[in-house]
Amino acid sequence: MSKTEKPKISDLSKYLFWDCDQSKITWEKDASFLVERILQRGMLEDWKLLKQVYGVEKIAKVATQLRSIDPVSLSFISFISGIPEQAFRCYTERQLNPTPWNS
C-alpha cells in the first residue's frame, strides 16, 4: 500500500468488529466509532492506520467528544495531541458521575 492510498477497514484487527458487520463500516461516516474502538482496544498497527487516515488532530478532535474512554487511552490521546485531559468530554462525564469506591 502506498502512502497516498487509504487503507481498507479490513486492514484493521478483526476482533475490533466482533459485534458488528465490518463490511458496513466506512472511514468517512464512522469516524467516532473507529476512533473509540481503536483507542481503547486496538493494537499499534491499528493506531498507525487510524493516524494515517485521519491524522492526530482529527483523532483528538473526535476523541474530545466521546462520552467514554478508559483512563489509559485518555492519557495517551491527551499526551499525543497536547490537549489537556480536562478538555475531553469523557473526563467531565467521569467527574460528574463518580463510581462508588474504586469499582
pLDDT exceeds 80 at position 9: yes
List helix spans (H) across 1-103: 31-41, 44-63, 71-81, 89-96
Query: Does residue 40 contact residue 67 with C-beta atoms inside 8 Å?
Result: no
C-beta of residue 47 within 8 angstroms of C-beta of residue 80: no
Mean pLDDT of 21-28: 92
- 101 band by pLDDT with thresholds 50, 70 and 90: low
Q: Domain ranges in the chain? A: 29-96
Alpha-carbon gap, residue 57 to 80, rounded angstroms: 9
Q: What is the pLDDT of residue 1?
A: 55
pLDDT in tens, 47-94: 999 999 999 999 999 999 998 889 999 999 999 999 999 999 888 777
Mean pLDDT of the chain: 89
